[in-house]
Structure 1
Amino acid sequence: MEQVKGKLIALGGGDDEGMIKLIKSEICDLHSRVEVIATAATEPKSSGNAYKEAFEELGCSNAHFMHIDEEHEADTPNNLERIQSADVIFFTGGDQVRLAAFLNGTELLRIMRYRYHAEDIIIAGTSAGAAVMSDRMIYDGYGHYSLIKGEMKTTDGCSFIRNVYIDTHFVERGRFGRLAHAVAHDPDYVGIGLSEETGIIIKEGDQVEVFGPGVVTIIDGSHVRFSNTRQVEENEPIAVENLKMHLLVSGYRYCLREHLFQPVQEADAPNSIAVPNK
């Protein structure tokens, strides 16, 4: 299997100071180039410049705002050159559908994907900027209504990683139902629910580790024996058998390919033994 060299860092929303500090610690060199893309935001220019300043306040002097919207196209020669030399690409929060719409099908995104797989680059994002990272993303579904067929909606993401749903503001906005529904419908996918101020770093395209004070919810459909999501009529409730859930906090990781939950310290130690699903 292909070895992914880049890292994904995703935050569930809320206070993002811890995430920016983590990015700083991962890049080591304070002269590393950071490109902030705020296309998802309601006010992209002010949001993008605010994050640029936040990186600069932590000593990252080579931070820049890349303006992509209705009046500023993605595939300009200048943007392509900047993405080729970026060490960190950071997506702000806002509307993930809008962000994906402006990036999907562009040469800019193709370069980002290639570099993520082939080079030691960080792709980071908060809220919508986290949700957009996989090939599919959830963009609608609220409370108990999300367990009704037709209320939970998904669409194409930016495909840095595949077969994962990343949902944000997870506990705070009652999004368990929509993530469970998405995984029940697509059991080859792993659902990752991020609480606010809490996030994940995905290494080698596989190892999901937690940072921040909260809980990350993993919903695993690999053992599902029955789901009616493809047969039931619109506006009818869904049923699913044997959907598994794990709760991760800092110090633990989840390996996507093997569906393994393990302590980080034990996994890093010589002769460590993983804890398999039972």
Structure 2
Amino acid sequence: MSNIKGKLIALGGGDDDVLLKLIRSEICDIHSHIEVIATATTEPVESGNAYKEAFEELGCSNVRFMHIDEANAADTTDHIERISKAGVIFFTGGDQVRLASFLNSTKLLEIMRRRFREEEIIISGTSAGAAIMSDCMIYDGYGHYSLIKGEMKTTHGCAFIKNVFIDTHFAERGRFGRLAHAVAHDPEYIGIGLSEETGIIISEGNQVEVFGPGVVTVIDASNTRFSNTREVEENEPIAVEHLIMHLLVKDYRYYLKERLFQPLTQTMPKEEAGNVALPEK
């Protein structure tokens, strides 16, 4: 996990000015090649061009919209050439299942993943564009119903990182239940809930820092003493003992591998690394 050279920047949705400005500052070079992918929305041309203009207004001079949908395949020669040169890939909001379905099993996504592992590229997105970043993503589950077996649903994401659920619009849409359910069912995963206008930067595939004015919720089920999520019948409520929750804000960080919360001013002790034993499923 620590060998990953790329950086993930994910926003929980809502007003995304803070995300675009952060990407601009992280790029440093205004001539960096930015590719906008708006496949998650049913109006990708309008959305893609709007984000292209937004980046250009910030001074970015090399921004392009990559049109991928029912009528425009992902694996074209032009797309592959462009994605091989991109310094930033930005995914817009919309429907994360739609977005993942058009990218998964494509050569284009394979190139993105390889470059993310091996190069200092930025993978960024808001809302659905943030939810697809891990290998598994939540796509359904509403309010208290999400604590009923069968109501919370997951599917394959785009797998830039693994063993993390990234949920968006977290506080605003009452999504604590579905994120808690997801990690209780799969305790090797860590749940990260992003409020609107608030996001995370994940460096080296491990170190999580917050940007924006809000709170990021982290849910850890690795020390759960009891969970009936695999045994209980469909349409029955789940029971879980000893979930751990952290509230992460700016100036604090969280290490995914070590499951460690700390202020930015503190250095992680070397003995912390690799000492966390996860429960068997």
- Which category describes the TM-score, using the shorter chain as reference length? over 0.9
Three-state SS of the structure 2 residue aligned to 1:94 is: coil
Match in the other structure for 2:153: 153
Equivalent AA in structure 1 for residue 63 of structure 2: A
Structure 1 consecutive aligned stretches of length 4 or more whose deviation exceeds 6 Å: 271-274
Residue 204 of structure 1: aligned partner: 204
Secondary structure at 1:266 match in 2: coil
1:264 offset after TM fit, Å?
1.0
Structure 2 residue ranges without an equivalent (≥5): 277-281
Identity of aligned residues (%): 74
Map Cα deviations across residues 70-106 of structure 1 (whole Å, 9 max, x no partner): 0000000000000000000000000000000000000
1:30 aligns with 2:33: no
Aligned residue number for residue 98 of structure 1: 98
> Any idea what SS the aligned residue of 2:74 has?
coil
2:110 matches 1:107 = no
Match of residue 127 from structure 2:
127
Residue 218 of structure 2: aligned partner:
218
Q: 1:273, CA displacement in angstroms? A: 10
CA distance in 2, matches of 1:25, 1:210: 15
The corresponding residue for 1:181 is 181
Work out the number of aligned pairs and report it: 274
Deviation of residue 233 (structure 1)? Answer: 0.3
Instruction: Note the C-alpha offset of 1:272.
Output: 10
Give me the whole-angstrom Cα distance separating, in 1, the residues matched to 2:270 and 2:16: 33
TM-score normalised to structure 2 length: 0.95
What's the Cα RMSD here?
A: 1.6
Residue 123 of structure 2 aligns to a residue whose secondary structure is strand
- The residue aligned with 1:21 is 21
Aligned match of 1:230: 230
* TM-superposition CA deviations, 1:128-175 (whole Å, max 9, x none): 000000000000000000000000000000000000000000000000
Contact 2:2 2:204 in 1 (8 A): no
The whole-number CA distance in structure 2 between the counterparts of 1:272 and 1:137 is: 31
Question: 2:209 aligns to what SS in structure 1?
Answer: strand
Which residue in the other structure is 1:264 paired with? 264
SS in 2 for 1:177: helix
Q: Is the 8 A contact 1:4 1:118 kept in 2?
A: yes
Unmatched segments (≥5 aa) in structure 1: none
